[in-house]
Structure 1
């Protein structure tokens, strides 16, 4: 992982069933020293490599930073939690959003009660550039799982990562029965805090987010999922008011080419993992397994309400 503040090294690259593809990726990303594998099984059984297969990797004493979603069901997450306890390795969901410096500003406001209690949360995420396989339920992909989970984790963070007491979704599906948009309402503490969340794969939006407190606002004016700035506004002024205090965290010069400009921000979660391992910690205080479990549970309930069925789901109403 390049541009990290802490030392690290990519030691392995694997694809599901194509060694040539793994080799081409390693060459393209200048990972010539990384060992390539033509299957996940090959990677797992190699004693010198990391693996994304969380439970089996943990049993082989590998620390795991696993791409979101951590699992398809709550039962799978619980099994991972049990394995983590029995093996003592680090298992963390790679919800990179939470590790951006701008999010620390928000966490500090939440923790210090600088603006009082949270009253409402709003966020939107719209993109029409998702790959086709992100809407293939047979491989357990759907937009709610993908971009919707960013909204869910954001609302949970603003509610101290506690589960919602009420949740509801209204949205649209395509002819294959996959969701294409959704309007989500989450209530916490029996309605004291409400979150209003919108996602769509039919249009590109500003992808902004706002947290309204009793005595102020915190706002990500764009790309809340990978923010380089956050605005703090004291009092009852509107978001983006001239009196807002602006905190900016531009990416350091990164000459590598990524599919998305913000991908340089993946360094932050890697640095966090390094710190945890150096400290001997095996649970993240920013993205705990308990929080990962809550995200999966909320997303599963919302899919149930919409009638979107993945292969890992129990029967849902159509």
Structure 2
């Protein structure tokens, strides 16, 4: 996927509905509200009063008191799904069966079986389904991929990627509930795994994982090693009981890249919503005496970049871009499944294909 330029459309903007009123939906609506490429025209909640308050806050034309009502809203082209992980597959499938394109929050679903079914429905219905990792659509990610060219760092040999934070309100937080798709791996680990997939270009052959478990039964922290058929290695870590950290180190035969790969970025440390500059730097050479060079990228909300990239591929009917993203989502889901199994069994697990 590519980051669109913020230029006026000759065609009307993508007419988007938001399925749910959680905090992430509020952040998405705030960041996308003034986009020339996307028009948020409706929002739904199972509580009409909540949907009406949400719509009023973000100047959205229509509020629906049920999810079903949003899916039958004939004035919408697409649906954005920020629901709990356990609800992604059901409502994405229902939206696509209603003829709507779907932009769905990560992780796309709870397992590979659900992900496979979701893309089957998308193809059957002739609509587009895209997993929304906001950082994927950042200009910095485009520049990161540029740093991986052979003439800069040679052949990529290994990746280490991590993401962690401290989860609040542990008694009520959905991240602590197994039945809602909670746990560090699905909530946080999907990010470093998606970065590893982006860099490596394929799924690993097998994985080995170790986790610490919370009293509720979810993994509170996890580390995994990924083994590739060509001998490359990757390591990922995720946690919900640590200080916030987000970092990736990509090591090539002739150079190194380091990045934070943040979802949302700013040019300064004084952004009104707390967005920060995101580091990307590259060392071209094998000696530790060679300094790293900072790479400066355009900044902004990953929610807006993702929504506008989605609008662009829908408008252009760019199925090739969607299929590339679908292949990555399939590989990420297969890897998540294998890591979960390994963490529970303590054994090396080969990926299902």
Structure-2-length-normalised TM-score: 0.75
> In structure 2, what is the Cα distance between the partners aligned to 1:73 and 1:274?
27
Q: What is the match of residue 211 of structure 1?
A: 250
Deviation at 1:70, TM superposition (A): 1.3
Q: What is the match of residue 311 of structure 1?
A: none
Is 277-286 or 117-126 further displaced after alignment? 277-286
Deviation at 1:77, TM superposition (A): 1.5
- Aligned-residue Cα RMSD (Å) equals 2.4
Q: Is the 8 A contact 2:206 2:227 kept in 1?
A: yes
> In structure 2, what is the Cα distance between the partners aligned to 1:42 and 1:206?
40
Question: Secondary structure in 1 aligned to 2:238?
Answer: strand
Give the counterpart of 1:43 among 70, 84, 95: 70
Deviation at 1:232, TM superposition (A): 1.3
Give the counterpart of 1:172 among 196, 209, 212: 212
Deviation at 1:226, TM superposition (A): 4.5
Give the counterpart of 1:33 among 39, 60, 73: 60
> In structure 1, what is the Cα distance between the partners aligned to 2:280 and 2:60?
38
> In structure 1, what is the Cα distance between the partners aligned to 2:162 and 2:116?
29
Runs of 4+ deviating beyond 4 Å:
223-227
Mapping of 1:19-98 within 5 angstroms?
A: 19-28=48-57, 30=58, 32-49=59-76, 50-51=78-79, 52=81, 53-98=91-136
Consecutive unaligned residues of structure 1, counting only runs of 5 or more, are: 253-263, 309-318
Deviation at 1:110, TM superposition (A): 3.2
Q: What is the match of residue 249 of structure 1?
A: 297
Deviation at 1:137, TM superposition (A): 0.8
Q: What is the match of residue 14 of structure 1?
A: 44
Q: What is the match of residue 281 of structure 2?
A: 231
Consecutive unaligned residues of structure 2, counting only runs of 5 or more, are: 1-31, 82-90, 266-277, 346-353
Deviation at 1:229, TM superposition (A): 3.5
Q: Is the 8 A contact 1:14 1:39 kept in 2?
A: yes
Q: Is the 8 A contact 1:90 1:281 kept in 2?
A: no
CA deviations 1:51-99 (Å, max 9, x no partner) are 3422222222211111112122212221222222222211111111211
What is the aligned residue count? 288
CA deviations 1:101-150 (Å, max 9, x no partner) are 11111222335553211111112211004561112111222221010000
Q: What is the match of residue 125 of structure 1?
A: 163
State whether structure 2 residue 116 is matched by structure 1 residue 116.
no
Structure-1-length-normalised TM-score: 0.82
Question: Secondary structure in 1 aligned to 2:234?
Answer: strand
State whether structure 2 residue 178 is matched by structure 1 residue 148.
no
